[in-house]
């Protein structure tokens, strides 16, 4: 009898050990509420995306492309404008429409298209008829890029572009031709003398993604493709000096991964740079002591992490197709980053209170579906809910949602 009880005790200990081990593992993987009870992951991801779409529904206005920022503590919309991030969010909003076509979002998309007409200016330079989007008398290269991306996404969603929009797109590309820098890359500000201008990693990489999206989804103009390849080939050599310690450089990699994934489907010679860039990102993760436990690219988790996650997930099928040697390591990082980013979304009023310790007494639609601005040591930064943060995060989750049937991390 004594041996029986000893045996039962040992069996119980083994059971408890594996129960604890299993639950700790599940807690780490599901800390972002990915499975939300008994729901499958894909269903939860879709719910998350629909919440973000509804949040964007609220933030399109009659005057602006998209409200930039909302302060839950002050229960007020911030007056600050940022046309680049507004247009970037319009692109993200169009992507969400593509997975959930509805009348509310369509009405707001078409209203934004009408508003954008007021931002477009025209000129003729060196025999080129050009167009560019301008705000406060400043035209930036990435503003033009996000217009190209948004229009391409509308075409992918089955919407028709007007003849004026098609004409404007051609003229915007003419303007980008003139923005090419001899040193490689694209100048950042239109009309600004070179001695006062700069070649922006953001602007160049976003411009390249806009160009390849135009080529693939709007018009297969070989001159556009050749120009995009030329800009990349020259700028890639410049970019090799960038370090992931530089936040601007990290965001450059995200957009370049988008660009290279699309381009490699047309020209397989452009696969290798994508692999090299992913390897550089993974090397940074390994050498960053703050990330040794999480497998992350950076802390705190911010919009920049979500931005890189966008590109990392988007390029993943290409990496697997080409038998990338570090696939397992890539999957590990992407899984952890997905969990971290998802955990920043505000799912309900109670969730907001749990994240911040504050009670929001305004309209729940103003915060539910948005993403907090960062996460560091368990603390969430939700003082301002910016459209670009929710765009980067929801686009990253959307990229995973679109491949989850074939690639699960």
The Cα 360–Cα 377 span in angstroms is 23
pLDDT at 84: 87
Region 385-397 average pLDDT? 92
What residue segments make up the domains of the chain, in order of their start? 46-61+242-409, 82-240
Q: What are phi and psi of 386, to 5 degrees?
A: -95, 145
Q: What is the DSSP letter of 66?
A: S
Which fold, 82-240?
Answer: Glycosyltransferase (1.50.10)
Rg (CA), the chain: 23
At 301 the three-state DSSP class reads strand
pLDDT tens sequence across 149-182: 999 999 999 999 999 999 999 999 999 999 999 8
pTM: 0.87
Region of poorest pLDDT, from 42-46, 237-241, 302-306:
302-306
Range 256-276 average pLDDT: 96
Q: What gap in Å lies between CA 349 and CA 182, rounded to an integer?
A: 52
| Segment 29-43, tens digit of pLDDT | 333 444 444 458 999
Average pLDDT, the chain: 84
Kindly report, residue by residue over 327-342, the tens digit of the pLDDT: 998 998 888 888 888 8
pLDDT of residue 297: 42
Residue range 228-247: average pLDDT?
84
pLDDT number for residue 248: 66
CB-based burial label for 221 (10 Å; 0-12, 13-18, 19+)? middle
Distance between CA atoms of residues 233 and 212, nearest Å: 14
Q: Is the pLDDT of residue 124 over 80?
A: yes
Provide the percentage of residues in the chain whose pLDDT is more than 90: 53
């Amino acid at each position: 009898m004594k041996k029986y009880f000893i045996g039962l005790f040992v069996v119980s200990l083994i059971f408890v050990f594996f129960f604890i081990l299993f639950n700790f593992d599940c807690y780490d993987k599901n800390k972002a509420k990915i499975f939300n009870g008994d729901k499958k992951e894909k269903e939860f991801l879709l719910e998350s995306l629909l919440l973000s779409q509804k949040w964007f529904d609220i933030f399109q206005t009659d005057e602006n492309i998209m409200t930039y920022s909302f302060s839950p503590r002050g229960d007020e919309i911030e007056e600050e404008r940022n046309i680049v991030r507004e247009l970037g969010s319009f692109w993200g909003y169009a992507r969400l429409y593509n997975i959930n076509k509805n009348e509310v979002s369509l009405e707001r998309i078409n209203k934004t298209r009408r508003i954008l007409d007021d931002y477009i200016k025209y000129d003729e330079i060196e025999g080129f008829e050009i167009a560019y989007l301008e705000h406060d008398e400043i035209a930036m290269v990435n503003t033009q890029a996000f217009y190209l991306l948004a229009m391409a996404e509308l075409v992918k969603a089955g919407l028709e572009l007007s003849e004026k929009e098609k004409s404007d797109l051609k003229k915007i590309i003419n303007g980008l031709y003139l923005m090419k820098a001899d040193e490689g890359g694209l100048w950042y500000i239109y009309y600004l003398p070179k001695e006062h201008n700069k070649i922006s990693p953001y602007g160049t990489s976003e411009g390249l993604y806009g160009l390849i999206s135009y080529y693939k989804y709007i018009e297969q103009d070989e001159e556009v493709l050749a120009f995009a390849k030329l800009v990349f080939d020259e700028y890639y050599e410049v970019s090799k000096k960038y370090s992931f310690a530089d936040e601007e450089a990290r965001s450059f990699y995200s957009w370049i991964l988008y660009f290279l994934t699309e381009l490699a489907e047309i020209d397989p010679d452009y696969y290798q740079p994508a692999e090299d860039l992913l390897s550089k990102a993974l090397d940074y993760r390994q050498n960053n002591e703050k990330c040794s436990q999480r497998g992350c690219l950076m802390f705190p988790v911010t919009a920049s992490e979500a931005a890189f996650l966008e590109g990392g997930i988007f390029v993943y099928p290409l990496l697997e197709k080409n038998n990338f040697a570090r696939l397992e390591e890539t999957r590990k990082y992407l899984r952890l980053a997905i969990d971290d980013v998802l955990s920043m979304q505000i799912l309900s009023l109670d969730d907001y209170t749990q994240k911040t310790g504050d009670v929001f007494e305004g309209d729940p639609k103003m915060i539910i579906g948005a993403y907090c601005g960062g996460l560091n040591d368990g603390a969430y930064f939700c003082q301002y809910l910016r459209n670009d943060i929710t765009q980067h995060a929801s686009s990253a989750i959307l990229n995973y949602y679109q491949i989850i049937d074939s690639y699960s991390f």
